[in-house]
Chain A
Amino acid sequence: MKENPNKIPIERRVYKRRSCRDSNLTPQNSELLTLTYGALVSQMLRDYESVDDVNKQLDRIGFNMGMRLIEDFLARTGSGRCLDMRETADKIQLAFRMYLNVQPTVSNWAASADEFSLIFDTNPLTEFVELPADYQQLRYSSILCGCIRGALEMVQLEVQCWFTQDQLKGDATTEIRVKFVRRLEDAVPAGED
C-alpha cells in the first residue's frame, strides 16, 4: 500500500478532551474504534437481509449518536449558535478533529452558500477495510452522515447529508456533501427566537 503523507500516526488520540477527567486521560488507540466499528457493520450485514437495511440502520445509529454527541461538543467547546452555513461547516470540521482526529477540508460551496462538501484524505473508519464485490451498495461509513444530521437537528438545523465519493469505492478521496434544508423554527428554545 502506498504510504499516505497525510496519514496521522496510529497512536493518535481518537478522543481529545480537556475536561474534568484529564487525570485519567489515556491516549486511545484509534484502531480500537476502527475495529469495533468494523465488527458492528459486519454483524449488521449478517443480521439484516439487505444491504439497504444496513445503510438505513447505520444512518439511524449515527443520528442517535449525533443527538447525544452534540451536547458533549457544546459543553466542551462552549461554542455559540451558528448564524450561517459557513460557521456550521467550521464547527463540523472542528468536531471531526475532536472526535476522529481527522481534519476534513471544507470546499465545493454551492453558489447559494447552503451546500458544501467535507473532503477526507483518510477516513479512520475504513482504515483496514476492503469492500467485497457483492457489497458495492453498502455505504460503509454512513454512520458519519447520520451523526452530522442528528447533531445539527438538536441545534435546530435540518440538513441532508450524503456521500458523493468514497475511497472504498475507488475514488481518490472521501467526500460528504451537506445541504441545508431549513431552520427548525418551532424547536428553537425560548429566549432565542
Chain B
Amino acid sequence: MVIYGVYIVNKSGGLIFNLDHNLPKIETEKTFSYPLDIALDYETKKVCVAFGQRDGINVGHVLIGINGVLVTGTLLEDGRDAREVIENKDNYPLSLKFSRPKMTTNEKIFLASMFYPLFAIASQLSPEPKSSGIEVLEADTFRLHCFQTLTGVKFMIVAENIQTGIDALLRRIYELYADYVLKNPFYSLEMPIRCELFDTNLQALLDQAEKGGVVSS
C-alpha cells in the first residue's frame, strides 16, 4: 500500500500544496567505456536516455552525475558541459549516474492547472446531466483520486492501484486542512500552504493510512 503524493488545488486551479510522500528513489550508477552503448538525448535542460535500456537504466532516465560530480541540467558542478565530457574519448572510462526524472515545482504547478480544465471537460462530456468531474483517474502504475469540496477546493491523492480507503483519507485531509490551514491566522485564503503543523499532521495521517487504513472519524 503506497501513497505517492498529495496535491491541493484552489478553486481557481492553482496548486497550493503538494507533498511527495513515498516516491521510491531510483538511481543507477555504471561505468562505461568508449564508445557509449546507450543513446543519449541532449535536451536544453537535461540529458536523458533515448534508447538502449539496460541494467536498471531505463529510457527516460536523466543524467545526474559524471564520475561522482553532480550534473544539474546539462552542466557539471565544475562548469564543464556534460555533452563535451561524454563525447570526448580521452575521458573514458566514465562513470555515469542516472535517475528517474523528478518533477520540478514548476512542472507540478503546470500539471495541476492542466487537471483543472480536464475535470471541467469531464463533467461537460457526461451523457447524464449534473455529473461530477473526474473522481478517479486510473493508469497501470497509479490511481489518482480527486475530491472537490463544495467551496471548490480540490484534494488529490496519487496512490498505488490497490490502495483502499482513499475516500475516507481524502475527507480526513479536508479536516486537517480546515483545522491547521484555515485556522492559522497567518494563512491567506487561496495562497500556497506553508503551515508546519499541517505538514506534520498530514505526514502522520498518510503513514497511518499506509499501515492499515484510516479510521474515519
Contact = CB atoms under 8 A, between A and B. Distances in A.
A24 interface: no
A20 B217 contact: yes
A19 B150 contact: no
A74 B150 contact: yes
B175 A19 contact: yes
Given A68-B182, A78-B171, A19 B151 contact: no
A58 B110 CA distance: 39
B178 A189 contact: no
Given A72-B178, A74-B149, A74-B151, A67 B189 contact: yes
Given A190-B119, A190-B120, A80 B175 contact: no
Contact of B177 (A18, A71, A154, A155): A71
Contact of A68 (B122, B176, B189): B189
A18 B174 contact: no
A10 interface: no
Interface string A1-43: 0000000000000000011111000000000000000000000
Contacts of A67: 189
Interface residues of A, number: 24
B182 A20 contact: no
A75 B152 CA distance: 13
B182 A155 contact: no
B150 A72 contact: no
Contacts of B25: none
B203 interface: no
A190 B122 CA distance: 9
A127 to B, nearest CB: 24
Nearest to B116: A190
A75 B189 contact: no
B18 interface: no
Interface in A65-82: 67-72, 74-76, 78, 80-81
A20 B177 contact: no
Contact of A191 (B131, B172, B176, B217): B131
A72 B182 contact: yes
Nearest to A193: B123
A147 to B, nearest CB: 14
A192 interface: yes
Nearest to A22: B217
Nearest to B216: A78
Contact of B174 (A71, A81, A190): A71
| Interface pairs A-B: 3 shortest CB-CB | A191-B133, A190-B120, A189-B152
Given A20-B217, A68-B182, A189-B11, 15 more contacts: A18-B217, A19-B175, A68-B189, A69-B182, A70-B151, A71-B174, A72-B183, A74-B149, A74-B150, A74-B151, A76-B175, A78-B171, A80-B150, A155-B150, A190-B119
12 contacts: A20-B179, A67-B189, A70-B151, A71-B177, A75-B175, A76-B175, A80-B150, A154-B151, A155-B151, A190-B116, A190-B123, A190-B133
